[in-house]
Amino acid sequence: MRFRLLLFLLIAVSCQEDEADEPELRTKPAQQIGPASAVLEAEIVETGPIKPITVGFLWSTTNNLTLDVSPGRYILGPTGNKGPYSIKVETFGPNTTYYYRAYATNSTVTQVWYGEIVSFTTLP
C-alpha cells in the first residue's frame, strides 16, 4: 500500500507542468535593416506566474537600456502568451549603431524583466 502511494505521488509530481518563476524574454537579431528603419524581434519564452505581462522594446545609441533611461521605447501591450513579437521602427538615423532589448513588466510596472541587449547598424 505504501509503495502504491509513493508511486502515485512521484507520478503526480513529475506530471506537473513546469512554470518559470518570472517572465523570460529572448531578444532576437534585427531584421529588414534600412537607412532609417529596422524590424525589432523578440520572443516570450516563459510568462511565469505574472499574467498578463506588458511587453515592448527599448533602444538607444548607447547600451545603457533600462526603462528609466532609454530614449527609445515602444510598448506593445499586455499579453499572457508565449511566442514571438516584433515591431518595425522607422525613426532611426542612417549609418548609426543602435542597441535594443525586449522588456516586460507586470501590470503596475513595479517589476521589470529584460531580454539580452543586441545591436545593429543602419544602412548609409
DSSP string, 19-88: --SS-EEEEEEEES--SS-EEEEEEEEE-TT--SEEEEEEEESSS---TTT-SEEEEEEEE---EEEEEE
Residue 79 lies in a domain: yes
Residue-number span of the structural domain to which 42 is assigned: 20-121
Query: What pLDDT is attached to residue 21?
Result: 87
Domains of the chain: total: 1
Q: What is the CATH number of the domain that holds 43?
A: 2.60.40.10
pLDDT tens digits, one per residue of 13-23: 444 455 678 89
Query: What pLDDT is attached to residue 13?
Result: 43
CA geometry: angle at 61 spanning 57 and 63, to 5°?
A: 70
Residue 15 lies in a domain: no
Residue 14 lies in a domain: no
Residue 39 lies in a domain: yes
- Label residue 5 by pLDDT band (50, 70, 90): very low
Query: What pLDDT is attached to residue 103?
Result: 95
Residue 3 lies in a domain: no
Residue 5 lies in a domain: no
- Label residue 52 by pLDDT band (50, 70, 90): confident
pLDDT tens digits, one per residue of 65-91: 999 888 899 988 888 789 999 999 999
